Amino acid sequence: MQTRTLETGVGLFILAGMLALLLLALRVSGLTVSTNGDTYKLYAYFDNIAGLTVRAKVTMAGVAIGKVTAIDLDRNSYTGRVTMELEKRVDNLPSDSTASILTAGLLGEKYVGISVGGEEELLKDGDSIQDTQSALVLEDLIGKFLMNSVNKDKEE
């Protein structure tokens, strides 16, 4: 009887550990279903979205204020359109705010960073951020550096 109780206790302990690992994996991956409900949508158009994914963070001053909900190609301007869902607590963004695609660390995940402007008029649900800064692609940067050094060698 005592071994059966011990085996049941060990089984429950292992089950609790597996549930904790599953919950941790869901939180780290951003797949949690926790939505505040008080959100609004903004759009931003970028020339190069390179590496940005759906469910990426949207931050302002390093604080997460929303997430990317969709990425698609705008057929009229041939630019990438990013749909962002921001929390209502930051519904006072000026209309001249800037959205940039940033990288966490040197080769980390991509996210959208919003810099606040100074305009009196505020962004509303469904508005677009006009001033955007595309993702910095490391390969393009290396290519420009190499081409620049080759051109300098030819001049000498």
**Which token pair is 65?**
């204020």
What's the DSSP call for residue 115? E
Q: Residues 85-96: what's their mean pLDDT?
A: 92
Mean pLDDT, the chain, whole residue set: 87
Q: How many CB atoms lie within 10 A of CB 41?
A: 15
Q: How far apart are CA 120 and CA 131, in angstroms?
A: 16
Q: Is 39 helix (H, G, I), strand (E, B) or coil?
A: strand
Q: How far apart are CA 87 and CA 98, in angstroms?
A: 17
Q: Which residue has the higher pLDDT, 26 or 15?
A: 15
Q: Residues 71-92: what's their mean pLDDT?
A: 92
Residue-wise pLDDT for 40-68, tens only, equals 999 999 998 988 999 899 999 989 999 99
Q: How far apart are CA 90 and CA 58, in angstroms?
A: 12
Bridge partners (DSSP) listed for residue 73: 80
